[in-house]
Amino acid sequence: MASSVSQPMSRQRHIDIYSPQDRAYWCERFGVSEDVLRQAVKLTSTRASTVAAHLGISL
């Protein structure tokens, strides 16, 4: 089944927390709420692999 949120155009390895499209993509990708995503980025970094590790999710 195709994702309802398209992948960021640049296939970034970093999460642009200021971009609604990026937030929507990563929330769906990680299966978390926007609040959880924002907190994870705040506690770690914008690197997707670091956020995933923090959330206990493999990319």
Determine, yes or no, domain membership for 7: no
Query: Residue 55 burial by CB count (10 A; 0-12/13-18/19+): exposed, middle or buried?
Result: middle
Determine, yes or no, domain membership for 12: no
Count of domains forming the chain: 1
The structure tokens listed for 36 are: 């959880």
The structure tokens listed for 23 are: 């937030």
If we measure between CA atoms, which residue out of 32, 53, 57 comes closest to residue 17?
32
Determine, yes or no, domain membership for 8: no
- The reported pTM is 0.80
Q: What is the pLDDT of residues 11-59, one digit of tens each?
A: 579 999 999 999 999 999 999 999 999 999 999 999 999 999 999 999 8
If we measure between CA atoms, which residue out of 13, 7, 20 comes closest to residue 46?
13
**Domain encompassing residue 34:** 20-55
Specify the residue for token string 């980025």: 41
